[in-house]
A and B are shown apart, each in its own frame.
Chain A
Amino acid sequence: MTALPLADRTITEVAAALRAREVSARELTDACLVRIERDGERLNTFLALDAEGARRAADDADRALSAGMDGARPLLGIPYALKDIFVTRALDEDGNDLPGGLPTTAGSFILSGYRSPYPSAAQEALERAGAILLGKTNCDEFAMGSSNENSAYGPVRNPWDEATVPGGSSGGSSAAVASGQAYFALGTDTGGSIRQPASLTGTVGMKPTYGRVSRFGMIAFASSLDQCGPFGRSVRDVALVLGALAGHDPRDSTSVDVPVGDYAAALDGDVRGLRLGVPREYFVAGMEPGVEAAIRAAVETLRGLGAEIVEVSLPSTDRGLATYYIIAPAEASANLARYDGVKYGLSAGADELWENYDRTRGSGFGPEVKRRIMLGTYALSAGYYDAYYVKAQQVRTLIKAEFDEVLSTVDAILAPTSPTVAFKIGAKTDDPLAMYLNDACTLPVNIAGLPGISVPCGLSDGLPVGLQVIGRAFDEATVLRVADAYERAAGFASLRPPTARDEQ
């Protein structure tokens, strides 16, 4: 076992120790809770916590483990956190508060105090797998953002440098996993919201193929792009969690019935004979030299492991941003129409219905959400629909076709996850377009619906850099295999931020 403190170890390490009864689920849970107590408020990682419920679940897990009743529960006794965009059951049948039930806000004032009457598919799947829910993590409002500065509940700080952002929109999840507050966490990724924060916090984050994981109970941002996925401290950990999440769910009609492999068991560290493409368009102007150097070095590491590296071209890459910023806001403007001040959430209390809509939405949504609703409504409005929305859908066809063509000649694609390392809090808040450019390397993958992972590939200026591996639809296995082989060879897997220490 490594010399890292208990809270900073991988699931793979602590799960083995759990089964050998060298450590208890209660100790793992307390290790996370101690870190949350010490660093949580300062980093602003959690929006809701159920410490008592987590301890109770840990004791249950310990009893099951001692009795040899671990079943086939791969995550039994492992504490985790959910991005506060997944609903968690907080009401009983009679509408009364369940003890320990966690509210769901999506990082927005408009859902302040919302208590869900039902659980998300992700929460159910992880409960079945035996994992212990600690709480809900901070995020950009309705998952719209690249820095976590758009949360109505304040920005999250990056444990590597607390003056910088942890990425977004799943910034609370990335920061929690990086700083030992949870062994894994879930995020959602519409344009990079798992991979980019993973890159900025030195964690592993995966967006599965669109349709791989159920979106039931995941608050919608852009329904043709959203997908749920894990953050972890190793590729193997992420593979384990993905295995628990993946699969068809009749409650999400876009979840696809494709067999789920044993992702973790297939990680053999061998990439010999694989063809990996490096798209020249991903090494863009504005990319930090330190990031480019780390990515180039990672490519050489994989070449050294026996992969065949080929340069490829995805010529429409620079159209991704414009395509995304039509499609995503258009879908968001329709999805967010449900916040009407009538069924749940904030209500302005106006006497007349239209006035109540206007005032509730005007006071409940933050600036970025308003911007996207406006942009999307504009793109869908009479006279602009064909010029913007249909045009973007046509370019989407081209972007997807280019990926399909390249992925018919290579097994996976290697690219940077983010063109920069973590930037200072406040540095880009006045310039939405500059903020949007953070996701230039990740959002084409959502447009094409493909699986992608970010794995740490070193530091630049003392801050983490992420290598992105992109694969064919439903071929998460190859994406994970490449990322795992790289992780083993590169020696960055044990990088931890300054928070990774216990008090003496």
Chain B
Amino acid sequence: MASITRDDVEHVANLARLHLTDAEIDRMQAQLSNILEAIETLRDVDTSQVGPTASVIRLENIMREDVASLPMARDAALANAPLRDDPFLRVPTVLEEGR
């Protein structure tokens, strides 16, 4: 059933880009197993003839007139950035040399 391993927790944390300490991994393993066990009761529901609902309202493309308007001012958009190199956002190294 829904017992998830330490490896599972580490794998999912990596997918979520979420650093967890060893203690957090232990706690997460126990708590997620517990929650998933409750969630797995959904398996008993017969949904063979039922379609999925992603939203309760009808989702459809909404078109608008192609009218030019002013976007957010650049300085206002950059004001909260932890690292800036005006007029740009600064991002830590993505690719190291030789990789």
Q: Measuring CB to CB, which residues of chain A are less than 8 angstroms from any residue of chain B?
A: 91-96, 114-115, 117-118, 210-211, 224, 250, 253-254, 256, 316, 319, 321-323, 325-326, 333, 337, 340-347, 349-359, 361-363, 365, 367, 370-371, 373-375, 377-378, 381, 387-388, 390-398, 400, 432-433, 436, 448-449, 473
**Looking at chain A's contact residues, is the secondary structure mostly helix, strand, loop, or mixed?**
helix
Q: Using A117-B79, A449-B57 as known contacts, say yes or no to A342 and B34 having CB atoms under 8 A apart.
A: no
A352 — which chain B residues lie within 8 A by C-beta? 92-93, 96
Besides A346-B82, A391-B43, A395-B45, 9 new A-B residue pairs in contact (Cβ under 8 A), listed by A number: A114-B80, A253-B62, A319-B41, A362-B18, A362-B19, A371-B28, A394-B53, A432-B35, A436-B35
Q: How long is the Cα–Cα vector from A350 to B4 in the complex, in angstroms?
A: 30
How many Å lie between the Cα of A361 and that of B15 in the bound state? 12
Query: Does B94 interact with chain A (Cβ within 8 Å)?
Result: yes
6 smallest A-B Cβ distances: which pairs?
A: A362-B19, A449-B56, A95-B79, A393-B52, A344-B80, A347-B82
Q: Give which listed residue, B9, B39, B76, contacts A91 with CB less than 8 A.
A: B76
Q: List 27 A-B contacts (CB under 8 A).
A: A92-B76, A93-B75, A117-B76, A224-B54, A319-B42, A322-B41, A325-B39, A333-B16, A343-B81, A344-B80, A345-B80, A354-B17, A359-B19, A361-B16, A363-B19, A365-B18, A374-B13, A374-B16, A375-B32, A375-B36, A378-B36, A381-B12, A392-B42, A393-B53, A393-B54, A394-B52, A398-B45
Check if B31 sits within 8 Å of A432, measured CB to CB: yes
Residues of A close to B76: CB separation below 8 A: 91-95, 117
Neighbour of B39 across the interface among A322, A362, A400, CB < 8 A: A322
Q: Is the CB of A361 within 8 A of B19?
A: yes
Pick from A118, A325, A363, A374: contact of B28, CB under 8 Å: A374
Contacts of B82 in A (CB 8 A): 341-342, 344-347, 349
Instruction: Provide the bound-state CA to CA distance between A119 and B8, in Å.
Output: 41
Does A344 contact B53, Cβ atoms closer than 8 Å? Answer: no
Interface residues of B in 51-84 (CB under 8 A from A): 51-57, 59, 62, 64, 72-73, 75-83
B24 within 8 A of A: yes
Which residue of chain B has its CB nearest to the CB of A256? Answer: B57
- The residue from A340, A363, A395 contacting B42, defined by CB atoms under 8 A apart: A395
Contact of B91 with A448 in the complex, beta carbons under 8 Å = no
Contact among B15, B32, B75, B91 with A94 in the assembled complex (CB-CB below 8 Å): B75
Cross-chain contact B31 with A323 (CB below 8 angstroms):
no
A432→B38 CA distance, assembly (Å): 11
Residue total for B at the interface (Cβ-Cβ under 8 A): 56
Which residue of A has the minimal Cβ distance to B80?
A: A344
How close is A214's CB to chain B, nearest CB, in angstroms? 13
Contact residues in A for B41 (Cβ distance below 8 Å): 319, 322
- The minimal Cβ–Cβ distance linking B32 to chain A, given in whole angstroms, is 6
Closest chain A residue to B79 by CB distance? A95
Q: Is the CB of A374 within 8 A of B12?
A: yes
Q: What separation, in Å, do the CA atoms of A378 and B39 have in the docked complex? A: 12
Residues of B within 8 Å of A321, CB to CB, are 38
Give the shortest distance, in Å, between A398 (CB) and chain B (any CB).
6
Contacts of A347 in B (CB 8 A): 82-83
Which residue on chain B has the smallest CB distance to residue A321? B38
Contact of B78 among A95, A254, A432 (CB under 8 A): A95
Shortest CB distance B33–A (Å) = 11
Asked, given contacts A94-B75, A256-B57, A377-B16, whether A397 binds B52 with beta carbons under 8 Å apart, the answer is: yes
Residues A373 and B16 in contact, CB atoms below 8 Å apart:
yes
Question: Are the CB atoms of B92 and A353 closer together than 8 Å?
Answer: yes
Contact (Cβ within 8 A) A370 B47: no
Minimum distance in angstroms from A380 CB to a CB of chain B: 9
Closest chain B residue to A356, Cβ basis: B92
A210 touching B18, Cβ below 8 Å: no
Whether B28 pairs with A370 at a CB distance below 8 angstroms is yes
A378 near B32 with CB under 8 A, answer yes
**Nearest residue, chain B, Cβ from A361:** B18
Q: How far is the CA of A89 from the CA of B78 in the complex (A)?
A: 15
